[in-house]
A = this chain, B = another copy of it.
Amino acid sequence: MTYSIGVVGATGQVGREFLRILEEGDRPDLPVKSLRLFASERSAGKRISVRGQDHLVERAEPDPKLFKGLDFVLTAIGDHEARTYSPVIAKAGALNVDKSNAWRMEPSVPLVVPEVNPRDAREHHGIIAGPNCSTIQMVVALWPIHQVNPIERIVVDTYQAVSGTGWRAVDELHAQTAAQVCGDELPRQVYPHQIHQNLIPEIGGYKGDGLYSEERKMIDETRKIFHLPDLRVSATCVRVPVAIGHSEAIHIELERPMQPDEAREILRGAPGVVVVDNPVQSEYPMPIEAAGQDPVYVGRVRSDPSHPRGLALWVVGDNLRKGAALNAIQVFELIARNGWRSPAVRQEVHA
C-alpha cells in the first residue's frame, strides 16, 4: 500500500518542515505514492523540489474535487482557513490532520499525540487535530510518568522560540539582531515589543482570567489528551529570543512520591524521549541542540524541594518538528499502520 499525500500551506514553516522530514528518509509506515502541494494565491505557481522531484504549488481552493484521490492531507494554515478547509478535505475522502487551533477542542475531533493517546485517533470523522507545539512536547515527557504514578498537578513556565509565530517572526528576530550590531534602529512589525535580547510574556490573544490563549491551550489540550477534564494545570508562556526550540520548566505533583532516578528510568524507556541529564558536566537539553531533531529532550530531573510528591524537570523540543510537522506525519503513520482510514473511505472499501 502506498499513499497520496497533500499539504495545504506547503510554503509555510510547518509545511516546509513536513516536506523536509519526508525528504530525510523513507518512512516505512508511510510510503509515498504521490505528493501534492497547495498554498494561497501568493505562493501558488512556485516550484518546490522534494525527493528529487519538482512539485508545482497548486492554488488551494475549498473544493472537494481538488482533494479527490488524496489519502492524507496536512493543513498547516490559520485557524480561520482551517475551519473552511478541513471539512472539505474530509468530504473528499482524505484524512486531514490539522495543525491549527480550529478543531482541537471540538468534542468530535480527536486531539492526538501518537506516543500518548494513539487510540483516540481511531474515532475520527475525517479530521484529527494536532495539539499546540508547547502542549505536545510537555505531554510526551509527562505521559510515561503519569502511567506509573498519576500526575495530580502541573505547573509549567515556557521559554518559546519565535518560529512558533512563523517565518516573519524569525526574520524579525534576525533583522533586529543585525540592526543592533550595525547600530541601526530595530525594525518591529510582528511582535508588540522588541524580541531581540528581550522577553515577551504574551503568546496568543488575551482570553480573560489573566490568561493568553497559549496558556489556555496548554491547560485545555493537556486535559483532553490525558482524558482528565479536571487535571490541575497552570502555565506562564513567554516568548524568548531563540529561533527554533521551545523549552519548558515543569513542576509536577504525583499521587505518590517518585525518586528522580525512577523518573529518568521511565523516561529512558519512553517513546520519542531522550534523557540528557548530567548537571555536573553541564549536560541538559538546550534549544540549539534540539533544533532540527525529532525527540523531546528531558533533563534537570529532580525532586521538587517544595512538595513531598513533587518532581521538577526541563523539557526541550523542536517546535516545528515534534511540535507540528513530525507529529502530523506520525498520526498519518498511526492511521496507515492500523488501517484506520477515514469513515468515508472505509465505507467505500466495504461497499
Contact = CB atoms under 8 A, between A and B. Distances in A.
A178 interface: yes
A197 B243 contact: yes
Interface stretch (A60-68, A304-312, A333-341): A304-312
Contacts of A219: 305
Interface string A123-136: 00000000000000
Contact of A154 (B182, B233, B306): B306
Contact of A177 (B180, B299, B301): B180
A241 to B, nearest CB: 5
Interface string A162-199: 00000000000100011011100000000011100111
A251 to B, nearest CB: 5
B307 A198 contact: no
A153 interface: yes
A38 interface: no
Contacts of A348: none
16 contacts: A153-B306, A155-B251, A155-B304, A159-B238, A159-B240, A201-B249, A202-B282, A210-B303, A232-B305, A232-B306, A234-B251, A234-B305, A234-B306, A234-B310, A236-B312, A240-B241
Given A234-B306, A279-B206, A302-B209, A288 B181 contact: no
Contact of A300 (B210, B287, B299): B210
